[in-house]
Amino acid sequence: MNSIYDYRQRLKFFFVLVAVLIAIASVVVSDLLIKDFAQEERQKIEVWAEATRVMTSENPSLNMSFVLKIIMGNTSIPVVLCDEAGYVIENRNIDVPEKDVDEFWQEKVKELRAKNPPIEIDLGDGTYHYVYYDDSLILKSLVIYPYAQLTIVFIFIVIAFLALANLKRAEQNKVWVGLSKETAHQLGTPISSLIAWVEYFKTKDIDPSLLTEMEKDVKRLETIAERFSKIGSNPELLPIDINESLRQALAYMGSRISSKVKIVPHYTEEPLFTSMNESLFAWVVENLLKNAVDAMEGQGEVDFYIEDRGKRIRIEISDTGKGIHKSKFKTVFTPGYTTKERGWGLGLSLVKRIVESYHKGKIYVKSSELGKGTVFCLELRKYKK
């Protein structure tokens, strides 16, 4: 079970890694294309600057209509032509306001100077003009496009992942419910038969102590069948003192675990009531205790601490077992995850379902240290009278 789960985790990590590499490659390629396009735009502005210089010359042999066509051909790149004093001589593709024009040009030229290095025009008589330009709308769109595309793809993947996760969770719920109901149903017939046999043996000359033990086992089977029948339905929640419920659950398990395991409960002085189904809560305690005993290999100490946390009741279960690696804190509650050679890895998954789905509480690994032990934390809502 553990190897299959680890394989699935590695497969998820692989897909995430591939997705990240594709995203990086997309951004890098887009960046290279943008740089090429930006260089091409600068070359166009350099041609425009040269055409502007030519327009100021007095060479009659030049084809001025062609030069003028080059200048007028720039319909996308914002450009400003300034003299040495910074006065704007000409501009193209820039919306100029009707008011505060001088202040606007001061800010605009300053902005363009910061964006791209100016192009210097030598007029030949010791004077210079300078061309300042901005990226075209197409280039600005290209800069944003890959990130916008990745954002849309990411949102789509998240939505698809959540939808698949919900679908998978719904399927798992159906399996849980179906399996539990069928188990309870299948146990019903043999339990009824066992009850009849116990009643029959009472009429015979049989050691009463043996019959008492048989009755206890039959009652236990009835309790198990009742628990399974509650999975998938809305169990009845009643106000119960958490101290008393925990005391009964530990008393039952005390004689059914290794004598080398010491159970140390820490109850509160005053009763603490919570809305719970006592049968399912006892199942939670049993699974957590069994998990702790397995982690300690049948020898050690398990402490149960009950705390009043205002609106909630907290129960901390501390063991002296082999501990859990921090990366597995959430994984241990996944169906099928187990570190044991035998077992289906359903105990803690069942605990999480009972606590969170049926009692609207929380359960998580609070802390753990390899070789020293683990602390599970269980939180339930306090009963409101």
Domain check: are 17 and 146 in the same one?
A: no
Round the average pLDDT of the chain to a whole number and report it.
83
- Domain boundary among the residues 135, 162, 187 is at 135
State yes or no: pLDDT of 176 exceeds 70: no
Domain end (from 197, 220, 243): 220
Q: Are residues 266 and 161 in the same domain?
A: no
Report the DSSP beta bridge partners of residue 309. 312
Residue 266 shares a structural domain with residue 366? yes
* Structural domain harbouring 342: 235-381
Give the span between the Cα atoms of 219 and 223, in whole angstroms: 6
Question: Any idea what the CATH number is for the domain that residue 287 is in?
Answer: 3.30.565.10
Quickly list DSSP for 137-176.
Answer: HHHHHHHHHHHHHHHHHHHHHHHHHHHHHHHHHHHHHHHH
- The pLDDT value given to residue 175: 66
| Per-residue pLDDT, 165 | 77
- Measure the CA–CA gap between 51 and 111, rounded to whole angstroms: 24
- The helix-helix angle for 278-295 and 208-230 (nearest 10°) equals 100
Whether 127 and 148 map to the same domain: the answer is: no
User: Rounded to an integer, what distance in angstroms lies between the CA atom of residue 98 and that of residue 104?
Assistant: 10
Same-domain pairing of 290 and 363: yes
pLDDT at 264: 94
Domain count, the chain: 3
Query: Percent helix, strand, coil in the chain (nearest 5)?
Result: 55, 20, 25
As given in the structure block, the two tokens for residue 247 are 């005391």
Q: Is residue 301 part of a domain?
A: yes
The share of the chain scoring above pLDDT 90, in percent, equals 22
Residue range 301-357, pLDDT digits in tens: 999 999 999 899 999 999 999 999 898 898 888 776 676 655 555 678 888 988 998
Last residue of a domain, one of 118, 135, 152: 135
